[in-house]
Amino acid sequence: MNDTLDISLAQCNFLVGDIEGNTRKIIETAKYARDHLHADLVVFSELSLTGYPLEDLLFHPAILPAVSHSLEKIKSEINGIYILLGAPTKEGEYLFNSAFVIRDTEILAIYHKRILPNYEVFDEVRYFQAGTATCVVDISGVKAGITICEDIWSDVPIRETVEAGAELIININASPYQVGKTAERTRVLKTRIDEQNVPIIYVNQVGGQDELVFDGESICLDRQGGLCMLAPAFVTGAFTVQYSRVQTDLLESSCLHSPLPELASIYQAILLGVRDYVQKNHFEGVVLGLSGGIDSALTLVLAVDALGSDRVQAVMMPFRYTSDMSVEDATRLANQLDVKLDVIPIDNIYTTVACSLQPVLPDSEDGITGENIQSRIRGLLLMALSNKTGKMLLTTGNKSEMSVGYATLYGDMAGGFAPLKDVSKSLVYQLARYRNQLGAVIPERVLTRAPSAELAPGQVDQDSLPSYDLLDSVLQKFVEQDLTVDQIVAGGYERDLVERIAEMVIRNEYKRRQAPPGVKITRRAFGKDRRFPITSGYSMRGHTSQDQLQ
C-alpha cells in the first residue's frame, strides 16, 4: 500500500435529466482518473447521476428506475478505482438526496444528506427526507466521512462524522455561483476545520442550468485550514490531490489556481450561462436587437464570446427617434465583432399600426402607448427571425430596469433568455469596461453617452428614473438585502425617493413574472430566488418597519 491516497476531484458539466449521458460522463471520467491520473478514488458532485436541480422531474416515474439501471452499469463497467457519486434514492415512501461509494461491482456505502436547504433557489424539503445517520467508509485504509453540500454549513453533521471515526471529510456539492461565493465557502470550510481538526475535500460541479451557473472551484484544505488545492473556476476536468496516510493530512497539490477577480468571475459566469442554455436546449444560435446602447452592446459581446460570431445575428430597427450616433455605434460594434448586422426600419410598420388603431384609439401615438408600440414592433420582428432561423432571442434588459418596470411586456422583454437579468445598470458599465480591457470592441461613446431608450424625442433614462448610481444603491439594499424602507432611509437616503423605488419594485412584479430566465449572479436574483405575489394589498408607504408591521 502506498503512503498516499490519490484522490481525483471531477468537475463535470452534467445535464439535468440526461441520466444516460451523465452515466457515460461518469464512466469516462472514472476511467481517465484511474488510467491517466492513477487515482485511487474519483469524486463526483451532488446528484451527479441525474443533474441538479432536478425539480419536479424527480417525481416522474421513470427517473428512479433509470438511476438504478445506471448504477448497475457503473458497477459493471468500472473496476480498480473507488467512485463517489450522487444520486436520488427511495426507501419506503421517502426520497433521499444520497451519495454512493462504489468499488468493483459493489456498493460499499450509501449516505443520505442530513441538512436540506430550503431558502433562496433551494427547495429540497419539497423533494427529500433528511437523513439521520453519519457515513464513514474505509477507502483503501483511509476512514473517509461522506457528507453532501449543506451538511458542511452546519457544525453537527461534521462533528458527528468525526466522532464516528472520520479522518478525512469529503463533501460533494452542487453549489451555484454568486459574487463572492468562493471566499464564503472557504470561510465555512475553515470554520469546520477549526472545530474538528480534520482536512476537507469539497467537490463542486460546473455548468449552466436554467438560471443557475455552477462555477466548480473545488477546494481542498488541510488540518490547519491551509489551501492544498483550488480547481479552476468554470472549467471542467479532473484534478488530483493526495492524502498522506503517514501525516493523516492532505498534501499540497500542483493544482492551486488563484480565484478569479470579481468582474472576471461575473463575466465568465454569464458566458457559461448563455452558452449552456443555448447548447443544452439545442438552439442554432442567438438573435438580438442592437440599439446602439450599452445594454445591447454588452449582450452582443457576451453572445459572441460565448458562442462565436457565426452563431450570432444582430438586428437594428431604427425609427424616427433613433439617433445617427446609435446607428453608427451599432454598426461599428457589429463590424468589430464580425457579426452581420441586419437593418429593418420600423417607421412604415408603426404608421400602419397607428392607422389601424385610429378608429378605436385616436391618440395611440401619444405618450407611453406610442413608445410601447415601437418596442412591441421590434419584439415582433425579432421573434419572427427567431422562429424562422431556429435562433433563440436574447433580451438585453438589465436588473435595474426589471426592478422598476422600465421595460415593455411583449416588446424588449420578449425572448428566451436574459443574460443581464441579474446585472445592475452600474455593473453593466463595469463589465463593458472590463471586456474592453481584454480587447477594445465596445465604442467609447457607448460607454459615455447618457443612456436612452430613444422612444421619444430627446429622451434619456433619467427623465423617468433617478440616476443609476442612486437607483442601484437603493435597489441593492431593498431587493438583495431585504432592508425595509426605514432601514434604507436611516442610511442617509431621502424617504420619498426610497418609497418611490420600493413601490415601483412591488408594482412591477407582474412584469417580472413574465420575463425570460437569466443568469443568477447575486445573492437575490429575480425568479425562484425572490418569490413575491403579483396581487397584493401591501404598500411600502406607512408599512416600512418591523414594529409597524406588528
Q: What is the pLDDT of residues 342-355, one digit of tens each?
A: 999 999 999 999 99
- What's residue 540's pLDDT? 66
- What's residue 19's pLDDT? 97
- What's residue 1's pLDDT? 66
- What's residue 546's pLDDT? 34
- What's residue 197's pLDDT? 94
Q: Which domains, ranges and CATH numbers included, belong to the chain? A: 4-260 (3.60.110.10), 265-465 (3.40.50.620)
Residue the block writes with cell 420578449: 414
- What's residue 545's pLDDT? 35
User: Which residue type occupies 461?
Assistant: D
Three-state secondary structure readout of 453-480:
CCCCCCCCHHHCCCCHHHHHHHHHHHHH
Catalytic residue among 25, 46, 181, 477: 46
**Is 135 labeled as catalytic in the residue annotation?**
no
**95 phi, psi to nearest 5 deg:** -95, 145
- What's residue 550's pLDDT? 30
**41 phi, psi to nearest 5 deg:** -140, 135
Return the percent helix, strand and coil in the chain, to nearest 5: 40, 20, 40
**Is 113 labeled as catalytic in the residue annotation?**
yes
Residue 504, classed as helix, strand or coil, is helix
Tens place of pLDDT per residue across the chain (550 aa): 688 999 999 999 999 999 999 999 999 999 999 999 999 999 999 999 999 999 999 999 999 999 999 999 999 999 999 999 999 999 999 999 999 999 999 999 999 999 999 888 889 999 999 999 999 999 999 999 999 999 999 999 999 999 999 999 999 999 999 999 999 999 999 999 999 999 999 999 999 999 999 999 999 999 999 999 999 999 999 999 999 998 999 998 888 888 999 999 999 999 999 999 999 999 999 999 999 899 999 999 999 999 999 999 999 999 888 888 888 999 999 999 999 999 999 999 999 999 998 898 888 777 888 889 999 999 999 999 999 999 999 999 999 999 999 999 999 999 999 999 999 999 999 999 999 999 999 999 999 987 776 676 776 766 678 888 999 999 999 999 989 999 999 999 999 999 999 999 999 999 999 999 999 999 888 888 888 888 888 776 644 333 322 3
- What's residue 547's pLDDT? 31
Catalytic residue among 25, 113, 181, 520: 113
- What's residue 141's pLDDT? 92
**Is 228 labeled as catalytic in the residue annotation?**
no
**346 phi, psi to nearest 5 deg:** -115, 5
- What's residue 238's pLDDT? 96
- What's residue 549's pLDDT? 28
Three-state secondary structure readout of 202-214:
EECCEEEECCEEE
Q: Is the Cβ–Cβ distance between 12 and 140 less than 8 Å?
A: no
- What's residue 460's pLDDT? 72
Residue the block writes with cell 421517502: 94
- In this prediction the pTM is 0.93
Catalytic residue among 12, 25, 135, 149: 149
